[in-house]
Structure 1
Amino acid sequence: MKLASIFAASCVLLAAMAQAKPVYNRGPTGPNGVKYVKGRQFDRIFQMVLENHDVWPVHADPWFGEFWKKDNHRLLGNYHAITHVSQPNYINMIAGSDFGDNLYNAVDGNPDAMSNIDILAGSDFPVTFPDSTKTIIDVLEEAGISWRAYAEGYPIRQGCDFDYLPGVPDFVWTEGNHTYTRRHFPFISFPSITSKQERCNNLFNSDQFFEDYKNGELPQYIYYVPNLENDMHDSNTTYGSLYIQKTWSKIFEEEYFNENALNILTFDESANFTLSDMNNQIYTTIWGSGVETKSTWDHIDWAYYNHTSLISTIEDNWTGKIGQLGTNDTFANVISVKQPWTN
């Protein structure tokens, strides 16, 4: 009887310990418990996009300068934005092309530049695309990959916000108004997304990210956009690094966030958004459990990457081939997660 009592007590204790475990330890599932689809290099991808800073001033900040040197972290030392200004770079991240909407075309007087007058006027008006334009969302859904995009200051909790229509400025700037701006949330510019309610339902105010994280239900594809102050558009690297340290440092190092995940911190473009900056190099770091850093050399990858590499990497990971959008994803280099190409 004594042994039976000890056994029963042990069972109760083990059950209590199991119940006390954080929810996020229950397994690789996304929203509503949907199981993850296994990938070739990773099972989840997280992308955070910051704003308008040259690569070396970012490295000079103590937090950014040290972040990529940690175990399982790597600097992509030859990563580049596509063009200027902001919006065409965000469009590239999910569609693999800027579709002619860029500062270079505008300055050159290219009639195919979709918003060249607006860009020359310095206003970045919203651009929309034909209903048939494909994005990374088409690739993800075909492969059964759960996805959500989150934006700080998004005017609604969930869905497609249509307050900012083509021809209307995407936000009204006032002193101290460092909020959401449509041009940094590219999903809302594509009718192939906004015309489908089930896709609109995957666009959220950023508060939902922290709920999903707390509940251990992060989707497999995560796109996160800070507001205009936190992303350093209306501030500086010191402010941005303090924001990350306060809001993200613990999450960025947490086991659940990193397990079988590829996490990417990048910028939309360099600070010199003129024709003199054709290089457009930007700070970009990847990290996660699959990023091997056995030596100092493993912490830097000198292979050429750009924003379209984000698409080709996803395509290669879950479908085994690139170029499914038929844009620049056809030839963009796939990011090597396990070891750097240039090792």
Structure 2
Amino acid sequence: MKLASVFAASCVLLAAMAQAKPTNKKCQTGPHGVKYVKGRQFDRIFQIVFENHDVWPVQADPWFNKFWKKDNHRLLGNYHAITHVSQPNYFNMIAGSDFGDNLYNAVAHHPEVANLTSLTLETYYKYPWLADSDNLINYPANVKTVIDVLEEAGVSWRAYAEGYPIHQGCNFTMTVDSTAYARRHFPFVSFESITNKPERCNNIFNSDQFFEDYKNGELPQYIYYVPTVKDDMHDTNTTYGSQYIQKTWSKIFEEKYFNENALNILTFDESGNFTFSDMNNQIYTTIWGSGVETKSTWDHIDWAYYNHTSLISTIEDNWTGKIGQLGTNDTFANVIRVKKPYTS
């Protein structure tokens, strides 16, 4: 038996002895006991994505306002979405580009939507092409995503969605209703480089599996989580969203196992302003974990410029030591500095 296999088996045994929550960072394992690959800044990354709110209304909510001020928490004070509508921002999170699929390009062909301030069901009825472009896009198998980077580095990954129509696998169902899963918020099923490979589809789950993986101390190293369109505040508000987080996530967010050698990110897909003058698109984003040092007040805010593609370049830098493997905007997106902010 190879030494690595012996080490991994030992980690599994130690994890079981510790009531399935590993406490030794050298022995953290993912699903099926797969050994963690050591990263430069962190060993696990968790991303949860919310919807359609400007940064200041989110900051006005008491929970969001206090969250980034805790020890080992930091506000990314200059973090931006990339475009409108929702889906192209999600594409940027895992592929580093929206490939021209955004509202700004669409208006060249449909100028009547230029003054839209929101995308309601009535809007979709009036302009059905918006709904089609927001749900049915598929990119061919030669388009790479962050999954290619992770697998090349041997890093375990899983993507979880609340309300996902099946427990495991690739499913192409569109939005069901206003309280459920929305395909446009779950980019993994829009890339044939993922959906054409059964072994990759096997890493896509209903959110119930996340809580099982957490309970068993087997969280993968890359975690992507999307709530329903109700819980992610797309169809609700920041008060509802903060209550959802407090009910579902508060204990997990503060738990030692969840934070040990981890970079956790809470962000939004885009701002709430859908007008074409909104090129700023600033959104609330907080990072936290044991490696986020906050020894002074200034350590709680990082004013460096980041956007959704920074999530990819940060992963690339962490596990491969370089950025730009996808050849898209990850080539020049700023890497999130975990330990200390750039501006400290």
Q: TM-score, normalised by structure 1?
A: 0.88
* Correspondence for 1:261: 262
Between the aligned partners of 2:288 and 2:127, the Cα distance in structure 1 is 38
* Correspondence for 1:114: none
Q: Equivalent of 1:143, from 115, 137, 153?
A: 153
Q: Secondary structure at the match of 2:244?
A: helix
Deviation at 1:107, TM superposition (A): 1.2
* Correspondence for 2:136: 126
* Unaligned segments of structure 1, at least 5 residues: 1-17, 111-117, 165-169
CA displacement, residues 115-145 of structure 1 (integer Å, 9 cap, x when unaligned): xxx8964422321111100000000000000
Between the aligned partners of 2:315 and 2:17, the Cα distance in structure 1 is 35
Deviation at 1:108, TM superposition (A): 2.6
Please tell me whether the aligned partners of residues 107 and 120 of structure 1 are also in contact (alpha carbons under 8 angstroms): no
Between the aligned partners of 2:127 and 2:84, the Cα distance in structure 1 is 12
* Correspondence for 1:60: 60
CA displacement, residues 93-125 of structure 1 (integer Å, 9 cap, x when unaligned): 000000000011111339xxxxxxx89644223
Q: Equivalent of 2:165, from 155, 161, 164?
A: 155
Amino acid at match of 1:204: F
Q: Equivalent of 1:22, from 19, 24, 28?
A: 19
* Correspondence for 2:107: 107
Deviation at 1:171, TM superposition (A): 1.9
Larger radius of gyration: 1
Between the aligned partners of 1:245 and 1:224, the Cα distance in structure 2 is 16
Please tell me whether the aligned partners of residues 266 and 282 of structure 1 are also in contact (alpha carbons under 8 angstroms): yes
1:1-343 superposed matches below 5 A: 21-25=18-22, 27-109=27-109, 121=128, 122-123=130-131, 124-162=134-172, 164=173, 170-173=174-177, 177-343=178-344
Deviation at 1:21, TM superposition (A): 3.9
Deviation at 1:20, TM superposition (A): 7.3
Identity of aligned residues (%): 79
Structure 1 stretches of 4+ moved >3 Å: 18-21, 118-122
Q: Secondary structure at the match of 1:23?
A: coil
* Unaligned segments of structure 2, at least 5 residues: 1-14, 111-123
Amino acid at match of 1:288: G
Name the Cα RMSD after superposition.
Answer: 1.9
Deviation at 1:207, TM superposition (A): 0.2
Between the aligned partners of 2:144 and 2:285, the Cα distance in structure 1 is 26
Deviation at 1:237, TM superposition (A): 0.3
Please tell me whether the aligned partners of residues 84 and 274 of structure 1 are also in contact (alpha carbons under 8 angstroms): no
Please tell me whether the aligned partners of residues 46 and 223 of structure 2 are also in contact (alpha carbons under 8 angstroms): yes
Aligned length: 313
* Correspondence for 1:11: none
Q: Secondary structure at the match of 1:223?
A: strand
Q: Secondary structure at the match of 2:159?
A: strand
Between the aligned partners of 1:314 and 1:155, the Cα distance in structure 2 is 29
Q: TM-score, normalised by structure 2?
A: 0.88
Please tell me whether the aligned partners of residues 44 and 221 of structure 1 are also in contact (alpha carbons under 8 angstroms): yes
Deviation at 1:172, TM superposition (A): 4.5
Between the aligned partners of 1:52 and 1:101, the Cα distance in structure 2 is 18
Deviation at 1:23, TM superposition (A): 1.3
CA displacement, residues 272-319 of structure 1 (integer Å, 9 cap, x when unaligned): 012111000000000000000000000000000000000000000000
Amino acid at match of 2:88: P
Between the aligned partners of 2:102 and 2:214, the Cα distance in structure 1 is 35
Please tell me whether the aligned partners of residues 106 and 120 of structure 1 are also in contact (alpha carbons under 8 angstroms): no
CA displacement, residues 234-256 of structure 1 (integer Å, 9 cap, x when unaligned): 11000000000010000000000
Q: Secondary structure at the match of 1:204?
A: strand
Deviation at 1:25, TM superposition (A): 2.4
